[in-house]
Structure formats: C-alpha cells, structure tokens
Structure 1
C-alpha cells in the first residue's frame, strides 16, 4: 500500500518536467521571435556577400538594407495557410563585371524580394514562388575573341547538393539593358517599363497588322501591298478550309468504331482543352543603337510575369524592329521562356533585298528586289538542335508573288534550310539581282557600292561565297508563269537549289522556252578561291516560230532546235566565269521550213526580195542546220556552223569572245540554182554584246559593183554578168554533220584546257570550195580555223 503515494509523486514530477520543457521552449521561441524581429540583419551582409561571391565567381555586394520578415503564404489553403513564410528583401545590389569589361557592374538592382515556402524545406526543397526585381540594370558585353561577361564560373562542389531550387515567376517594375558586342558590332540600349494598363494580345495583333501593312506599302508599293493582303487572305482561307476538312474527317473517324481514331481525337480535344489562355501584355520596351554598322530602332511589349517553372503557360511577346532598310515585326507567344521551349509567332518581314536578312538569320539568301512577306513562325528548342518552321507564308518580291513554307534545323556541322516556294506570276526582271544583272540604280538602292561597267553586258558583281559555308540548303522553287518582254519566248521556271559545305548547285535550272525546255545543271564550288564552276545545259524541242514570237514572217516556220553545252570555269562573278570558260556548245535544227524571204535577204538577192515583198512568200525546206563551237579561255570558235536548204547553203566562221564581249562572225551565203540581180556577198556580225553590228562585207560588194560598172562602160548588158549567181555549191553532208553534232561532248576540269579538235573533213573541203567560189566573185574568203576546245553534254533526242 506504500507504493501508491510513490507512484503519484513520480507522476507529478514527470508532469512538472514536461511543463518546464514546454515553458522553456515557449520562452526560447519567444526569445527567437524577439531576436528575429529585432535583429539587425545588415550585420549578415558581409557573410552573404562573401558566400554569393564565392558561388558566382564575381564580386557581389548588398549596399542597402537586408531585411527578413514573416508573411502568410499566398494561394495556400487549410492549416497550411497558418504557417508563415519568411520574406527576404535586399536593397542596392551590385554584381561586378570581369576586369576587361568597359562597365564596372554587370548588373545592379534597386531591390529584390521573395518568399520561401517553409514546409518544403523539410524535404530539402527551396521553393520560391516568385521573385520581384525593382529597376534592374544589366550590362552585356562581348569582345572579338568571344570573351563575354554573361558566363559565370560557378563554384563546383565535390559532392552533389542535397538541396533543390524550385523557382516560380519573375516580375519586374522597370529595367534597362545595355548591349556592347564586338562580334556582331552591336551597341544598343533597351528600356523596359510598365504599360500602365494590361493590353490583350488580340488588340496588339490588330495594331501590328495595320503597322506592317503600311510598312509593306512603303517597301513594295501600295499595289504590291494590296496584292500581298489578298494573298494572305487567300492563304488564310485555304488553311481554314483545310482545318475544317481535317476536323470533319476527325469527327467522322471519331464516330466510327475505331479505337485508335477515337483515342487520337480525344487526345487532340484534351490537348486543346488544356491549352491555357494567353495573358495580356503588361510591359513595353524600346531599343535604340547600332547593329553591324547600321542604325537600329525598335519597340515592343512583354507579358507581366515570366513563368519559370510552368512550361505550359504562354508568355506574350511583340516586337517591331528596324535595322537600316530591314523591318521585322512579330506578335505571339513563347512557351517556357526560361528554357525557350517553343515559339508561336505571326511574323512580318520587309527589306530592300533578301540578302540583307543575313545579319539577323545567318542564312545567305540571294540579292532580290524590295520584298515583303508575312506568315507564321513556330519553333522548337531542343538539345539536339533547334527547329523553326515559317509556314504558309505569302510575299511580294518586286512585282512577283511568292508563297511557300521553309524549315530551318540547327544541326552539326551546319544548319539546314529546306522548303518549297512557288510564284504564280513571276516578273522575269525580278531575277536579275540574283546574278547582279540589275541596273546600277537598283544596285545602289540595295546598298551595293560596286557598279556594273557601262560597256559590259555580263554581270561583274561577285558572289558572296564567304557566306556559303554558313548553312546547307535544299529548296525547290517554281515560277508557274513568267511575265516578261513579249520578244522573250520564256514561259515558266523551275529550279532545285542545293547548297552543301560551300558548294552551290542548281539541279536543274529549267526554263520553258519556245514550246520546249532549256535545262541546265550548275555547280559552283565556293569552298575554294577562286570559285570553280561546272555547267551543263540542254535545249530540247525549241520551236523555230516560237523563238521569234513578235516576228510575223517567222510564224510559218517549222522545225525544232536542240542543243547541248558543257563548260567549266573559274572566277567569282558571272563575267569572270564566262571569260575563263572551256568546253563546247552544240546545236542542230531538225528538218523544217523557214521563210524564203529570210533566205533571199541573207543572200542579198535583191530582185527576189522585192518580188516576195510585193507578191507574197514561199517557204523553203531546211535540210539540216548545225553549230558546233569550241570554247577556249572564254573564246567560242566555230568548228561547224552551217545551214543547208533547198535554195542555199550558208556557212559561218569566226569567233565570239566572252572575255572582251565582242563578236567577229562572217556569213557566207551560196545559192543553189540560177539567180539574177544577186548581190551575193559575205555578211558580218561584229561589235560588242551591247552594241552588235550586222552588215555586208563592203570590200567584196565593192569589187562586184566595180566590175559591173567597168563592164557597163563597154556594154550595158555586160554589166549584168557580175550580178548573175550560178549554182556553184554542193549540198552539205547532212547525215554526217548531224551525227557529228550528236556525239557526246566532254568538258575539262575547271581551270584546265582540252586537246585541240580539228574541224571535220567535210567542213574543210566545203570551206575550200566555198573559198574558191568566192574568189571567182572577187572575194578572198577566210577559212574556218581548227580551234582548241572541250565540251560536255549529250543529245537524248531531237
């Protein structure tokens, strides 16, 4: 019975101990709270500065107040909302720049404040729902050797940290960014400030559409801008129709008992339903400065809160930037902007030339007339390489339309540009700037300082081969209908552009010409200096009458022209490539007819020309016609150049010099049959490409005229003798000549010549007979030479 009081006393002791423990804890907590609330946290600034400096490898300082307070947590429910979170704030913060930087500080902040969730600390998670930055100022610098001030040398721990940082949103009230980049030659200042009131993305889209339409009108004219708007509307309608058809098909599939289709449709519906709305714009920004030597100005808008962890929440962006004559604008969203997961933008681009986009894109686009485009740009940022799609865009380039889609994939060792472009109405003149064949006024407008010499017809503007290694390309372009001078028999265009490791190829470059085709394969190796070029071309089924669409006399002509050419050359411009070319050019005319008036005029048979003019014409059959030029160092010499008809044989000899751009061709007509009042005499084609001269060999004609005058003094009837042309020429060996022309030519490697090729034996004997006949008429005829040359290509039909 004595143990009962002992047990009671022991219970009272335990109760007192527990009570004292709780009392002590309460006192300690109270003391800690008092200390926490009354402690001067500025005493910890040296410790914080030292720890952060060691962590980032840069001097870090807090020169203002460091405070710690307690607040109830935002967006918490239940008992958790009663657990207060610490709120940290620091004022006047600076982060130093490297020693080589021009500015002292990389960043300065008037204030930074954030809260830390308490309960996640038990699981070693540092959860910061939001960080607020007040008046941040950032200095961004890079030197020519690629040293930059935004790469920090973070202290690496020998053991992995057991703590995880989870950051939510970042917001700011006002900020400034200075950019000094010696690599891109950028020197810009950007200011960010609040808009005053939130602006929805739909309103910004309408404003940008109006501004871009005005800019397009300035670049391609009001007419071009109106046509561009119609193109965009048509493309939008087509896209909407396709989407409607796809939705209908999906609905039909969903109604059918197909589990896979039903699952896919539900997945699409769920995905669309989960897509969060786009928040409004809250900040505006402006930029001024220079970039790559040109003036830069721009403005735009940003969302109010940058979501760092929520990858599904879109962040609205808008920009309207001008760099010299280039204008780029976009409206849209960035998903997961902290990691740049995806882009979805409406993009407008205008410039004096597509080549001027190179500083922005790194893509070596060709020189073009002024252009304007608009379309949708989407992008996916991936570890293996970013991918961007410019989808269903429309545009105007000079007086031409352009439509299509492009894909840019960042890959190693070079990015790749792929796509298909279509022009429904293509102005032939808009192609001239691509090879530098536009006027000097046009060159000056697009910023080219080098002018085309007035005496040169071939373009002298050099290719920008230094850019060709920046990217690979695989792009197809179709010009469905060409708008050009009525005298040009070209109807359409197709080309497949391939660029790989500095080598540009057009496989093929194909034109619809005179009811047939002219196709060429062009390879330009820009990886070497000078550039090495290789060209092969074939003309197939070119109709004689369509080659001269505005010439009424030729409209009764029949027959086709087929030809092949193969050339190799070195040089960095079309002119230098032509001047160094080696190879062969061949052409033949299959059996057909041509106006007799042209044949009589070629032989200067005066009486028959007058008769044809007065009483009509009769077509003459073409038995055969062929031309075979050997090209050596830019000089085309004729091995074979002859035309055989029922009424005449015409031989041509001489050369065409692509280096000096002049011609020296002699045309020797020989009649078949008896002609009266014939002033048959050699013709010539001389002069330059820009100023050709066609006429009669005055010396030979004067000899015949002098003979007629001399004989007329003796007997008036004897004066007719020099004007009578008997038949003194045999037909050409057509089968042998055409068989020779059809032989597959070859071309030497770029920069090399080929062995000499003599003229065919049948041409040599014919030339000798022609020379004898001409000497009988008082004219010494030049014999065709046997030049050095090479060639490539092969006829695959006539």
Structure 2
C-alpha cells in the first residue's frame, strides 16, 4: 500500500513538473503589483529558470495610467519583455544582491505633469529609511544592462516641455564596457530640443574604482551645450573631470537649463570645468566671450538650500559696457534698437523679473580690468551685488576714471504688485572731464566733475523708478575746460551746437565753473540752481525736465561778463522730447534782433545799439552757488570735496549724513552763514540784468 501511495506521489510530481506553468502566478502578480502601484498592472507571461543564478522574465508588461490621466493616449509604462538574473547564492551567503544581467526590450513610458501640479508618477507616500541604513547598501550591483528601443515621453506643462528620450545600450567591445545612449527630441521650455548623450555602462556607474565616462551634446533652441569627461564614483560624489561648454545668443536662455536667472546678454561662448560634491555644484575656471567682452570666473551652486544659493565670482580683462546693458534693464548689443531710435524714451524699461529673482539667492562679484566704450572710456568696473529673498542689494558698483570714481550703492526691496522699494545713491568724485571727453579729441582743460545723485522710489524698471521717484542731482565742475567742445558732446552735436549758438557763448570759451542743483520730485527734475560761467559769459537756467514722459521745458539766459558789442544774448527756450528738443529764442532775444534790423534799415550804424552789453561783472556767483549747493543740496548730500585735486574717495551710503554734517561744520568755521536759495537766485537776476 505504501508503495502505491509513493507511486501516486511520484506520478503527481512528474505530472506537476510536466504541466507546471509559471503563468499560474500571473493573476497574483497582477493584483499585487496593481495594489502597490495604485494603477492597473498586467503581464502576459511569467518565465522562471531556477538555479544558483535564477532568471525571471515577464512578457508584455503593461501599466495603465492612474486616475485622472485617462485622457492620455499612451499607457503609463510598458515593455515587450523584461528579464532579470539574480545570484541567489551570493545573496543568501551575505554577499549582497548581484544582478548579473538585466534585459529590457522595447520599454515605453509616458511621464506627465499638469499645470496644476498633478502628475502621474507619484506613487504615494513611502516610509522613511531608518537612520542606521546606508543608501549604498540598498543599491544592487549590476553586471550588464541591455536596453533596446526605449522611448520615454516627458510632458511637463509648467516647464512648457514635451519631449521624447530614446534609449538603447551598446555591448562591450574592444576592451570597453559598453554604453548607454540617449537621444532627445521634442520641445523643452518652449524651444525645440535635440540631444545625444553617451554614458558608460551601468556596471561602470556603480564601480567605485572605474571613472564613469560622459559625452553629451545638447541644443535647446539657439543654445548649444556640450559636456565631456569622466566622473569618479558618481554615487558617492568623489570628483569629476568634466569640460562644460555653453554657447548661444543670450545667457538669459540658460535659465531653462540651469534654473539660475541671468540677465539678457549678447551672444556668448564659454568653456570651463564642471565639478560637484555632495554639497555643491561648481563651474570653475571658465572663460570665453560675451559680445565683444571676455568673461571668466567661478560659479558655485548649493542645490540643497531653499531657494538654491549661487555664488558667482566673475572677471573680464576687457569689457564693453554695452554688453552689460541687460543688468540694468537695457537691451545689450552694439547699438540702439529700431524701437528705441523712434521712441522718446531715454531710460531702459525692461521689467525686473520677480519670479526669477525668487528662484535663487545669490552673491555676485565682478571686476573688469579695462573698459572699452566709444562714448565713455572709463578705466575699470568693480561690482558686488547680493540677491536675498527677492531683494537686491548693490553693495557697490564703481567705475574708475583716472583719479576719479563714479560709484553707486542701492537697495531694492520687494513691494506690492511686483514693484521694488528702491533707494539709490551715485557718488561722482573728481572725474576728469578731459578723460571723459578724450574720445572726441576736442576738449581742452583740466576741469573736474563731482557731486551726488540720489533716488527714492518704487517701481519695477529703471524708467518708471525715475518717473515715480524723489531725490536730486547736485553736480559741480570747477577750474577750466573748453565749453564749446564740452556741451555739444554732452547734449549731442547738433543740439549742443544749436544751444551754444542760441545762448551766445563765443567759440572756444574757457569754462570756469558749472553748478547743477536739480531736485527730483515725483519724476520731475526742477531747478534750484543751474549756472555755467566761462571767461566771457554767465549762463543760468530755469525750468523742468519731466522724466514721466521724457520731455523738457527749459529756459537758458546768457549775459556777457564784460562790455561787448555785436552780441544778441538773451533767454533761449528749449522744449519738447529730450531726444530731439526744439531750441527757440525768447522774447528778449527776438526783440533785440528786431530792433537791430529796424534800426539798420533806418540808420545802419544804429543797428549796433541793441547788441551792446555793458557786462554783469565777474563777482562771486560761482562761490555763492557752490556754497548754496553745499548748504542745501538737491541730492541731499553736499558735493564737498568731490572735485579738485587728490585721490577720489567715495563714501558708503550709510555714512553720507554724518559726512555732510561734518562738512557743514567745517564750512561754518571759515565762511559766513549760507544764503537762502531765493537770495542767491535774486542776486543772480540782479547781476544779469545790470547793464
């Protein structure tokens, strides 16, 4: 009897072996996988080959889209066949999980994220690993990975991205370990994208002693990127030897690829070393061109900070300021745009991009050894700028001009509706006017320019900050220079020459002093004082410059300092758009001209009578005007010692009030009490009308 039972068992076991089908487990696998992934999962067949190295294969894997993504025409994932071999004996003896072979045939994926942030690749919460577990211990060692005909679609609505990654592997040959090849095509960040990426095999990726090779070429719209080199133990951030190259028409387009906001720039081409550790990603020792300027330096990014922190230390040996126009909201390039040429607007109106500013915190230092600019041949530039939680702190932005300095400090703090509450101070310290005008080859003399410009406003571009702002301009020029060369270049050759001719300044007059004290009130520049004195004439100005619509309404009057014949000076009215104002003679000048013509008809020698001026005398108007500018400057900061000989010293913003107070104290000790603005203005009028 026992023998019969044993025989039946043997027969049953034999039948089980003969008719065994691993597909019997398919429904169970489908249920378990569907529950784990929270979406329908099916496989057509299951194949298992048992042994010390066990091989498991599934055919026609199909994973449906989760709830809410039924409208997608493709399934979430699928594969014709997946085969995995596992060394069971090694695992059972404590050697860890080793997968000698993985074969994935025709894998497909459809990765989707909608505008509202909902996506199809989130599988629910997972428990946190224990503190004592090692991330490396959970990663199996893989011997050989073979992928054929892979096609993964990535559709990220918020990034305006819909592209395909075509993936396959190449086998080991000629002593190498094979490779993983990815080809990209589609749209990324609203621009077409193509790419070809070749990486080492997965075996070298997990090999701590074998550098992992990378060779990548990527084109996103007009931006071109290459990355070549090796990574040492990439899973543990041991180091890199990677050369990274960027080229394109505008660095602002790199925001989509890097997540780092950069202002608009002209065409660029840079190459450097990409390094990373567990803490930071670095772009070191890069160099190249940006427009007609060279650019180089180091950039470090801490991706773990929220938001990421960027530390950029940049320099140029030779820089054209026009290439940096995007940093102040202007359009970088070699010249004004067609729109700017036909518009009356004179200040940049590019809006500050608030979302991009909030994307990172950053520190930027920049030094340009030599500035090349046809209109302003400054010596160098030095900048230190910080962005923190959307606020901009220009700690200093200095330009050297010979012994002089043009320096700026500013803070821009986020306000309502995307605006920035802005405080700005510009220090003009002992700028050599001959140096400023050296490109013309016409200015003669040793005049120096000094003073301050201040602005307190709320807005989101340079143009509307000035149009809404309060503050002022206080500038002083002393001791000498050729005004007939200076004004045409400052105002524009055609307009400047017309103004000189209209106000009666003789050719090649020596400039003795110039004082401009102009308060800015709600976008309108008014006039406390405007005085220009040459060796022969004294000119004062009154009126306004409206920065809200870039127009001016100004009146300039010139009188001779000495007895003069054959001169028809008087008030000149300058009005209209700042870019192309109209220059017209005032009533006095028209009257004198008409009288000269009328008398010339009746009695020719009498035509000289209206042209006779007896002179207002030299007096001390320059001294009075400078005293007034120091006592009550429109900019809020006295020009003090910003002109004259010696080395320029630019005061930081926080020390300005104290410095002004000390200047007032010193001046009170050696001069009489300052006159009021009204008293000085009356004195000027009396002197000018005294003939």
Q: Same fold (TM over 0.5)?
A: yes
Distance change in 2, residues 1:59/1:567 (3 Å): same
Are 1:420 and 2:420 matched, yes or no? no
Are 1:173 and 2:147 matched, yes or no? yes
Counterpart residue number, 2:351: 462
Q: Secondary structure at the match of 1:425?
A: strand
Are 1:473 and 2:330 matched, yes or no? no
Residue 606 of structure 1 deviates from its aligned partner by 12
Counterpart residue number, 2:421: 532
Structure-2 separation of matches of 1:594 and 1:451: 31
Asked if structure 2 preserves the Cα contact closer than 8 Å seen for 1:395 and 1:402, the reply is yes
Are 1:760 and 2:677 matched, yes or no? yes
Counterpart residue number, 1:653: 542
Structure-2 separation of matches of 1:160 and 1:564: 60
Structure 2 gaps, min length 5: 1-8, 488-496, 638-674
Are 1:398 and 2:286 matched, yes or no? no
Distance change in 2, residues 1:153/1:193 (3 Å): same
Structure-2 separation of matches of 1:443 and 1:104: 52
Are 1:516 and 2:426 matched, yes or no? no
Are 1:118 and 2:89 matched, yes or no? yes
Structure-2 separation of matches of 1:281 and 1:405: 34
Structure-1 separation of matches of 2:133 and 2:605: 123
Structure-2 separation of matches of 1:160 and 1:704: 95
Distance change in 2, residues 1:671/1:171 (3 Å): same
Asked if structure 2 preserves the Cα contact closer than 8 Å seen for 1:190 and 1:287, the reply is yes
Structure 1 gaps, min length 5: 1-27, 71-83, 201-278, 749-757, 777-798
Residue 391 of structure 1 deviates from its aligned partner by 0.7
Counterpart residue number, 1:284: 181
Asked if structure 2 preserves the Cα contact closer than 8 Å seen for 1:647 and 1:672, the reply is yes
Counterpart residue number, 2:223: 326
**Equivalent position to 1:586, from 474, 481, 493:** 474
Residue 723 of structure 1 deviates from its aligned partner by 2.1
Q: Aligned runs of 1:180-219 on 2, under 5 Å? A: 180-195=155-170
Distance change in 2, residues 1:700/1:460 (3 Å): same
Are 1:742 and 2:630 matched, yes or no? yes
**Equivalent position to 1:151, from 84, 100, 122:** 122
Q: Aligned runs of 1:642-721 on 2, under 5 Å? A: 642-644=531-533, 647-694=536-583, 697=585, 699-712=587-600, 716-721=604-609
Are 1:139 and 2:110 matched, yes or no? yes
Counterpart residue number, 1:41: 22
Counterpart residue number, 1:547: 436
Report the more deviating stretch, 389-398 or 455-464: 455-464
Aligned residues: 627
**Equivalent position to 2:75, from 99, 104, 115:** 104
Alignment deviations for residues 13-60 of structure 1 (CA, whole Å, 9 cap, x no partner): xxxxxxxxxxxxxxx999999977984333333344444445554544
Distance change in 2, residues 1:37/1:122 (3 Å): farther
Structure-2 separation of matches of 1:157 and 1:357: 35
Residue 734 of structure 1 deviates from its aligned partner by 4.1
Structure-2 separation of matches of 1:715 and 1:442: 55
Distance change in 2, residues 1:590/1:127 (3 Å): same
Residue 636 of structure 1 deviates from its aligned partner by 0.9
Structure-2 separation of matches of 1:724 and 1:318: 84
Counterpart residue number, 2:213: 316
Distance change in 2, residues 1:290/1:527 (3 Å): farther
Structure-2 separation of matches of 1:359 and 1:375: 20
Counterpart residue number, 1:90: 58
Alignment deviations for residues 92-148 of structure 1 (CA, whole Å, 9 cap, x no partner): 333443222323343435121212231542559555454333333233222233333
Alignment deviations for residues 147-205 of structure 1 (CA, whole Å, 9 cap, x no partner): 333333478699999998661116123122121222322211121224477599xxxxx
The structure with the largest alpha-carbon Rg is 1
Distance change in 2, residues 1:161/1:124 (3 Å): farther
Asked if structure 1 preserves the Cα contact closer than 8 Å seen for 2:75 and 2:110, the reply is no
Residue 310 of structure 1 deviates from its aligned partner by 3.7
Structure-2 separation of matches of 1:30 and 1:332: 63
Q: Secondary structure at the match of 1:462?
A: coil
Residue 483 of structure 1 deviates from its aligned partner by 2.2
Asked if structure 1 preserves the Cα contact closer than 8 Å seen for 2:562 and 2:617, the reply is no
Residue 698 of structure 1 deviates from its aligned partner by 5.5
Report the more deviating stretch, 158-167 or 710-719: 158-167
Distance change in 2, residues 1:732/1:157 (3 Å): closer
Structure-2 separation of matches of 1:621 and 1:552: 17
Are 1:504 and 2:392 matched, yes or no? yes
Are 1:293 and 2:267 matched, yes or no? no
Q: TM-score, normalised by structure 1?
A: 0.70
Distance change in 2, residues 1:596/1:724 (3 Å): farther
Asked if structure 1 preserves the Cα contact closer than 8 Å seen for 2:474 and 2:635, the reply is no
Q: Secondary structure at the match of 2:257?
A: helix
Structure-2 separation of matches of 1:732 and 1:762: 14
Report the more deviating stretch, 309-318 or 111-120: 309-318
Counterpart residue number, 1:67: 48
Residue 735 of structure 1 deviates from its aligned partner by 4.0
Counterpart residue number, 2:301: 408
Residue 87 of structure 1 deviates from its aligned partner by 3.2
Q: Secondary structure at the match of 1:565?
A: strand
Are 1:482 and 2:399 matched, yes or no? no
